[in-house]
Amino acid sequence: MMTDRWVAGRALRAVASDRAYSGSLPTQVNNGEENSFPFVANFSKGLPHEADGQVVPSAYRLLLRAVSTGRPEDFERIPLGTVKGRKLVNPQAGLAFDVEGPDAQGLTIAPAPRIDRPQNSAEMAELYWMALARDVNFTDFAADPVVAAAAADLTSNFTDFRGPKDGGAVTPATLFRGDTPGDLVGPYVSQFLFGAIPYGTLLVQQLQRTVPPGVDFLTTFPDWLAAQNGADIPPNAPSPTDLRYIQTPRDLATYVHFDTVYEACLNACLILLAMEAPFDVGNPYNFSQNQIGFATYGALHVLTLVVEVATRALKAAWYQKWFVHRRLRPEEFGGRIEAQRLGLATFPMIDPEILNSPVLAEVMTKFGSQLLPQAFAEGSPIHPSYAAGHATVSGACATILKAFFDESFILPGPVQVPDAAGTALVEDPTSPPLTVGGELNKLAANISIGRNMGGVHWRTDYSESVTLGEQVAIGILRDQKPTTNEDASFTLTRFDGTTITI
């Protein structure tokens, strides 16, 4: 009997291995900027930089050498721009293997938009407008003049803006939203970021620690340049006493500044379990007369898996970041625009749509430069922009939840939003009913775009990365399903709106 078990177990692992490695590795293609515009259009934060903000070429070549050879000693030779400054974040993670789900290098994402193309200009304009609107309550978007100006600019002045629109126009109701099913339905912030979280005997209200409004960072060229050289700038810590529900872009950016990447989806899972939301139709215990799930197809199974996918997703994202795209952070691109304005350098390759946008005059008037104002004192992390870690993890974790729970289930109770003070929740009478699937998609968008609201990521960092995380989660579900004894299946709606069953 044990021999049979041993043979069956080995066979399952062999099948999973064949599933991961039976095909050829995908072709990994970046956007070619590294060759077209050397040392201008790729990530270099943390390395030594020249006075005009461009990376020291020899330092960048050592980074390229390390990602080419993969040798640990070559990564140790990459120079930092500041002695005892910020360190590069885990570039070797993209070389790790996993024994479940797809290989980190077995997935790919599209080349990132180039700085000489209109799509990149549109994404940068959206980020400037996000910075200008950081302290506008989401519930006030419909009447706010900055929001109206942002919607008009993105509609009229950019030929390739790919965010959601209504009748071909960006509106206050579509501005800064995600582009997956459910993102445009109801309030901007997902209900899963408002509901009380049951942690055993604890019931945690989601009143968040906040930072003061109107305080932005890296808006002078010396401060910006120090950050590019990796200066060890402490984060702007939120207040332990000024607590409120998420009600502005700055609040959402602060949440994703200090979260543990997967925690919003873990919280959503706990909320769904507490409300006894129905499991997916393929759960074998939906119809059992004498059994319930626990370690398999029950609460512990989904709670474990929604966190387990995070490291797998991060390895896939980190391979794309360091070894394929090396996309510059928005703050770096803002530095190119400001260096050109100051006469420190010229960048004729920058697409003119961003240079001609009225948003630059608005930013100049408010902040005194054309740098992209950062919500985080230290600016972006010391790793490339694309793929985005938060977005990839959120895509993976939300996919697990959509596979385990009935996506069509309507969330009970009234739809809630924060009151004017942000300290209590009130009913939103304008919102239609909200489904589990739609609010999970919105949650993934909130967490991803919240990083954009901080100034550290681009729109395509979100839109491409959530689908990368989705691929990781689907691969893990395909490996998990055959390991269980029950007659079960998972059905879920992908971020593109199509439905699959595992």
pLDDT of 2 above 80? no
Closest to 331 measured CA to CA, from 233, 259, 442:
233
pLDDT tens-place string over residues 90-102: 999 999 998 889 9
Q: What average pLDDT does the chain have?
A: 97
E-state strands within 202-307: 202-204, 208-209, 243-244
Buried b (16+ CB within 10 A) or exposed e, 337-369: bbbbeeebeebeebbebbeebebbebbeeebeb
Separation between Cα atoms, residue 292 and residue 299, nearest integer Å: 10
Give the residue-averaged pLDDT of 82-86: 95
Query: What is the percent of the chain where pLDDT is above 70?
Result: 100
pTM, 2 dp: 0.97
Task: Kindly report the length of the chain.
Answer: 502
Among residues 49, 257, 301, 390, the one annotated as catalytic is: 390
Is position 390 annotated as part of the catalytic site? yes
pLDDT tens-place string over residues 180-234: 999 999 999 999 999 999 999 999 999 999 999 999 999 999 999 999 999 999 9
- Cβ-contact 401, 265 below 8 angstroms: yes
Token pair in block for residue 22: 């039976």
| 5: confidence class by pLDDT, cuts 50, 70, 90 | confident
Quick check: helix, strand or coil at residue 49?
Answer: strand
Is position 457 annotated as part of the catalytic site? no
pLDDT for the residue numbered 24:
82
CATH number at residue 439: 1.10.606.10
| 19: confidence class by pLDDT, cuts 50, 70, 90 | confident
pLDDT for the residue numbered 330:
98
| 153: confidence class by pLDDT, cuts 50, 70, 90 | very high
| 1: confidence class by pLDDT, cuts 50, 70, 90 | low
pLDDT for the residue numbered 182:
96
Angle value at C-alpha 12, between 9 and 17, nearest 5 degrees: 130
Tell me how many domains the chain contains: 1
Among residues 49, 257, 325, 383, the one annotated as catalytic is: 383
Range of the domain at 29: 2-501
